[in-house]
A and B are shown apart, each in its own frame.
Chain A
Amino acid sequence: MDSAPGGTLTRPVPPPPPAAGPHTPGPNAAGSHADEPDTAAPSARADLAAALRDSSSVGLGLFPLGIAFGVLVAHAGLSWWWATAFTALVYAGSLEFLLIGLVVAVTPLAQIALTAFLVNFRHVFYALSFPLHRVGGRFGRAYSTFAMTDEAYALTTGEQARSWSGRRIIWLQVLCQAYWVAGGTAGALFGALVPAKLVGLDFALTALFVVLAVDAFRARRDIPTPALALVCALAARFVLPGQMLLAATALFTAALLARRALAGRRALAGRRALAGRRGPAGHRTADGRRTAAAKEPTRA
């Protein structure tokens, strides 16, 4: 959720595919018909039925997690309908879990804005591949971006979603939000009845982040990246505990950029050394293709 806690309720959220590949026409590529289902537009009813099926797996995760959120809202001393307001309006699961603690402590709005920015920043990259170009109408597109949670992104960018119509995508998003809002509201109503001695329920947020981290790791299996993030997070935790999220994210971004620059330079140096050995020395120049191959990358 980041939306949604569930982001990955059923499948790992794929990292935004690099670059709009051949299969992901940009929003402006409306002309691409490869993924437009022009075969007899299915009826609105059929789209709704399909969306119900598409969203069922995610719904099984969103609803119980919504209940956990609602119970926390009730235990924080807020009226039950705040759970409805949070889930319906903010609609970004992990941020909502964090928000409870922030608003109970009456945290300044600027810090809430900063937290929202950091927690949801990853959504910026979803625009690279979310099929918004298939959704029609101003209102439809506005809602579609509003409800572009991790779950919605994961479902609509998968292989199976290539032929989904804009209406089916919107229905899917409406249903996902309905599960989340219903769970939150039910949890808050139920939580108000339960004696407030259910300590430790807030661990749901930690567990959510752990699960999302494991799923994100599985999508790439690149160990240095999470290791770098861990070091940055711990450094920020002990050096700048008051601004931990901001410091850790900035440090991590800088570290990634440095790593990329370093890898680029090393690759370039490697190619130069290779070209130098093979070129002027002339040992292998008998094989013309090799020299060419060695030289080529240095041009890049």
Chain B
Amino acid sequence: MPDTSYLLAAIGVSVAVTWGLRALPFAALAPLRASAVLHYLSARMPVGVMVILTVYALRDLPLTSPVRAAPTLLALAATLGLHLWRRNAVLSILGGTAVHVALASTLFAHP
């Protein structure tokens, strides 16, 4: 279990990096506003980063064991389906998570 000083340091590091990323570009980007490369990247990075983070979140999915991967795959389908259908982020996230919790703790529960 992490101790208090480590947790505080982890929070401090996260705050510094996050705040820096949010605040510094207001000064640094001013001269770069006209950069075509920057605009090309800024228009395409968001969707790419989200796809990468999705794969990252699923990195430990046990693909070789369909039974153990099933709750996650079904919940993934539920989330995608809900979001394509209703376009309501809260509903999609809570719905997908509920499916996952329900399947993982009942049908597909493993000791």
Contacts and interface: CB of A to CB of B under 8 A. Distances in A.
A2 B93 CA distance: 15
B54 A220 contact: no
A185 to B, nearest CB: 15
Chain B interface SS verdict (over half): helix
A158 interface: no
Contact of A122 (B34, B45, B79): B45
How many B residues touch the partner, as a band? 35 or more
Interface string A77-121: 110001001100111101100010011101001001100111111
B33 A128 contact: yes
A203 B97 contact: yes
Interface in B8-39: 9-11, 13-19, 21-23, 25-26, 29-30, 33-34, 37, 39
B47 A106 contact: no
A145 B22 contact: yes
Interface stretch (A37-45, A46-54, A240-248, A285-293): A240-248
Contact of A256 (B7, B40, B84): B40
Contacts of A274: none
A109 B93 contact: no
How many A residues touch the partner, as a band? 35 or more
Chain A interface SS verdict (over half): helix
A65 B97 CA distance: 11
A74 B105 CA distance: 18
A25 to B, nearest CB: 11
Given A206-B57, A209-B50, A234-B55, A15 B43 contact: yes
B93 A207 contact: yes
Given A106-B6, A200-B71, A256-B44, A19 B34 contact: yes
Given A26-B30, A122-B45, A220-B43, A244 B59 contact: yes
Given A8-B89, A229-B52, 18 more contacts: A16-B46, A27-B30, A94-B53, A109-B10, A121-B21, A125-B41, A125-B46, A128-B29, A199-B101, A199-B105, A200-B71, A203-B75, A204-B94, A209-B57, A210-B76, A213-B47, A253-B41, A260-B37
